[in-house]
Amino acid sequence: MSKNILILTGIFLSLLACKKELDLTKDSYFGIKELLTSKNASADCGENADIEGKKIKVYGIIDEDNILLETSTFVVQDKDNDKYSLNVEVDSTISEPLFELLMEKAGKEVKIEGKIRGFDAPANFNCTRKFVLQVSSMEAVSF
């Protein structure tokens, strides 16, 4: 009896640990958590994840405390879980007009299309792979 419980517990835990693989060829928007916790975003430091270099569409909430014109960046949080967020880098040729819109729409939902760039983020004897969404046109952002 206890052997069966251990087997069932092991199966349950392994199912929870499985990461979902996203179909990046589909023309659909992904939530921030959905993207960042997917198998496609899984990579060790020094390695490239499947999402890197690809055009990706995401949706989320504009973090009103992280709209930074001086660095041409802003943060988008997952709609349902603000623990998950993605930094967005904006091309300097469109940053001023786009940031005017972002300030008006702060705290609201946004849809963004851009290219994913990965980087290593070492901290406290450990390293994780992080991502930035690069935006180069006003048309890539909709409210």
pLDDT at 71 over 70: yes
Answer yes or no: is 76 within a domain: yes
pLDDT at 84 over 70: yes
pLDDT at 2 over 90: no
Rounded percentage of the chain residues whose pLDDT exceeds 70:
87
Q: Which of 141, 70, 82 is nearest to 112 (CA)?
A: 141
- Dist. CA 86–CA 3, nearest whole Å: 43
Answer yes or no: is 57 within a domain: yes
CATH code (residue 93): 2.40.50.140
Lowest mean pLDDT among 14-23, 54-63, 90-99: 14-23
Which of the four pLDDT bands, split at 50, 70 and 90, describes residue 128?
A: very high
**CB 25, CB 41: distance < 8 Å:** no
Answer yes or no: is 15 within a domain: no
Domain count of the chain? 1
Which of the four pLDDT bands, split at 50, 70 and 90, describes residue 24?
A: confident
Rounded percentage of the chain residues whose pLDDT exceeds 90:
82
- What's the domain range around 41? 23-142
Answer yes or no: is 1 within a domain: no
Answer yes or no: is 4 within a domain: no
